[in-house]
Amino acid sequence: MFCLMVRFTCKNEQAATAFDELVERTAEQIKAHEHGTLVYTAHRVEGRPLERIVYELYRDQLAFEAHESQDYVKEFLSAREQYLSVTQADRLEFVTGKGVGA
């Protein structure tokens, strides 16, 4: 499995709203077209209204590469920058869990 956790900090409340809409549109495309994407979830951070976390779990590295090659993902990666002041991404190494086919 291949996993990412990305923390985004939006520039302001208007940017956060626009970023949420961008993420929602992108997630709909991911749900419809990416069988190798096992989990793609977006979260608001309680008590920090400008922060978002996206958790991504892929079947393998190839599924992640297929995800990154999609036009709607490229559009997301380009468009998101106008809304963000900070992006922090961590690649995670899967150890154990429930509900992910492990």
Q: Exposed/middle/buried for 29, CB within 10 Å: 0-12, 13-18, 19+?
A: middle
Strand residues in 1-102 grouped as ranges (E): 2-10, 37-45, 48-58, 84-92
Whether 101 has a pLDDT exceeding 80, the answer reads no
Fold of 2-54+71-91: Alpha-Beta Plaits (3.30.70)
Q: What is the pTM of this model?
A: 0.92
Say which residue the tokens 């920058």 belong to. Answer: 81
pLDDT above 90 as % of the chain: 91
**At 102, is the pLDDT very low, low, confident or very high (cuts 50, 70, 90)?**
low
Alpha-carbon gap, residue 46 to 53, rounded angstroms? 11
Mapped onto helix, strand or coil, the DSSP state of residue 7 is: strand
pLDDT in tens, 2-17: 999 999 999 999 999 9
Beta carbons of 19 and 8 less than 8 angstroms apart: yes
pLDDT in tens, 31-41: 999 999 999 99
Residue 99 is predicted with a pLDDT of 80
The ranges assigned to domains in the chain are 2-54+71-91
In 3D space, the residue among 65, 44, 66 whose CA is nearest the CA of residue 53 turns out to be: 44
